[in-house]
Amino acid sequence: MGGKSNLLDALRFLYEAWFPQPGTYGPVHAVSQRGGIDEVAWKGGQDKVLSIAVSFAEPSQAERSFEYSIEVTGSSTGYINVQEERLLLHDGEREHSLIVRDNTGRWLVNMDGQRLVNVDADGSAMEFAPKNWDGYRPKVFVQNWRFYQLVPSLMKQVNAVTAGGALEPHGQNLSAWLMWLQTRSADSFSRIEEAVRDVFPEVRLLLTWPTQQGTVYLASEEHGLARSTPLFQMSDGELAFITFVSLTCAPDELGRTLFVIVEPENHFIPDCWRRWSHCYGRSSTSYRIATPDCRRLYSLLTRRIYSIRSNSMKFCGWRRSRAKQRWSAQATRTICGS
């Protein structure tokens, strides 16, 4: 069955196949995380095959693009094998195969034909890619993807002060993350406060309060209230929105090329998106929010936001804002899950 969640999971599958947990092969780990090949292959047939293809383009070099594809098969015993994997580099009118197969297996090769790495049948070639490989650029892009599914009940917990270097997938270290931003990027935290005040006019200040026990928790000061409101008394919608804005306003030094947030509006006040886009839609930073239906999925980008429509089954694309490293990509074919 098609669906926005399946399309996003195809991107997560690709990420896990390229960057596996220590001691595992990427495709094997990615398939096992989803319950085995029977749970990820198309259930309308008997073939135990999963295939994904993605294209990457670098706008700073308009004539250069990459096309990547991988086909994974599984046996009835659960054995996972990479049946086919390709990476083509299009450079003007020339085409170079950077992953080739012969009777000795798969190889990572450069444009001049130099062979670099022989790849095991269970692994993805991309997980073994060295920096001197001509196909390394897509790996640099994908390694900075981050996936989120925000859970307000987890976001309301007190955090250790040292837990804030990056936002966790469910937002469970929100307080530490915001304190980290406040102490290391005051401008980013100020933008977060400004966005929250614009959407929630009753909020006067956001506070990150450290405790003597080495923990920290988020609180807010509101107009007309004599005491602050701790995060466990904040609404789910307010916390989800603060988290959403914190990713949008995070400094570029974090180096993330793609943020994917699954259904952040489940807890939002219905008017939040309209008010936020009205406040920031005309700024120098471009934010674009599409709302095809009540079950929206948003992919958050550094300086760009796109939605995924359930009836198109194509990812709109993403771009990185930095002038020196701007990328775009499009999912061309996915068969993932049910």
Residue 263's pLDDT is what?
61
Residue 133's pLDDT is what?
94
> 185-225 pLDDT, tens per residue?
888 898 888 888 888 889 999 999 899 899 999 999 999 88
Residue 198's pLDDT is what?
83
Q: Which amino acid is at 305?
A: I
Number of Cβ within a 10 Å radius of residue 306: 18
Task: Let me know how long the chain is.
Answer: 338
CA 208 to each of CA 37, 150, 153, 175, 216: distance values in angstroms, whole numbers, following the listed order: 45, 20, 18, 7, 6
Whether residue 307 lies inside any domain: the answer is no
Residue 149's pLDDT is what?
84
Residue 227's pLDDT is what?
92
43 plus 118 within the same structural domain: yes
Whether residue 311 lies inside any domain: the answer is no
176 plus 107 within the same structural domain: no
Q: Where are the beta strands (DSSP E) in the chain?
A: 49-57, 64-74, 80-91, 94-97, 99-102, 105-109, 115-119, 145-148, 159-160, 203-210, 215-222, 229-230, 258-261, 298-301, 304-307, 318-319, 328-334
Task: Collect all residues with Cβ–Cβ distance below 8 Å to 62 and sequence separation of at least 6.
Answer: none
119 plus 193 within the same structural domain: no
The DSSP symbol for 104 reads T
Q: Helix, strand or coil for residue 336?
A: coil
180 plus 292 within the same structural domain: yes
Token pair of 42, please?
Answer: 């198309």
Burial class (CB in 10 A: 0-12, 13-18, 19+), 112: exposed
Instruction: State the Cα–Cα distance between residues 301 and 321, nearest whole angstrom.
Output: 9
Whether residue 314 lies inside any domain: the answer is no
Phi, psi at 163, each rounded to 5°:
-95, 20
Q: pLDDT (tens digit, 0 to 9) for every residue of the chain, 338 residues total?
A: 455 677 778 888 899 999 988 888 888 888 888 888 888 877 777 788 888 888 888 767 778 889 999 988 887 777 888 888 999 999 888 899 999 998 888 999 999 889 999 988 888 999 999 999 999 988 988 888 888 888 889 999 999 988 778 889 899 999 999 999 999 888 889 888 888 888 888 999 999 989 989 999 999 999 988 999 999 999 888 888 888 888 877 876 665 667 777 765 566 555 665 555 555 544 333 333 333 333 333 333 333 444 443 333 333 333 333 333 333 344 333 333 32
- By the 8 A CB rule, do 87 and 55 touch? no
Whether residue 124 lies inside any domain: the answer is yes
16 plus 125 within the same structural domain: yes
174 plus 291 within the same structural domain: yes
Instruction: State the Cα–Cα distance between residues 148 and 266, nearest whole angstrom.
Output: 14
Token pair of 137, please?
Answer: 């650029």
111 plus 12 within the same structural domain: yes
Token pair of 5, please?
Answer: 């969640």
223 plus 281 within the same structural domain: yes
Whether residue 305 lies inside any domain: the answer is no
Residue 81's pLDDT is what?
84
120 plus 165 within the same structural domain: no
Q: How many domains does the chain have?
A: 2
Residue 121's pLDDT is what?
81
72 plus 40 within the same structural domain: yes
Residue 11's pLDDT is what?
86
Q: Which domain holds residue 117?
A: 4-144+325-334
CATH code of the domain containing 155: 3.40.50
172 plus 219 within the same structural domain: yes
Phi, psi at 308, each rounded to 5°:
-115, 125
170 plus 274 within the same structural domain: yes
> 253-278 pLDDT, tens per residue?
665 667 777 765 566 555 665 555 55
Whether residue 120 lies inside any domain: the answer is yes
Residue 281's pLDDT is what?
45
Burial class (CB in 10 A: 0-12, 13-18, 19+), 170: middle
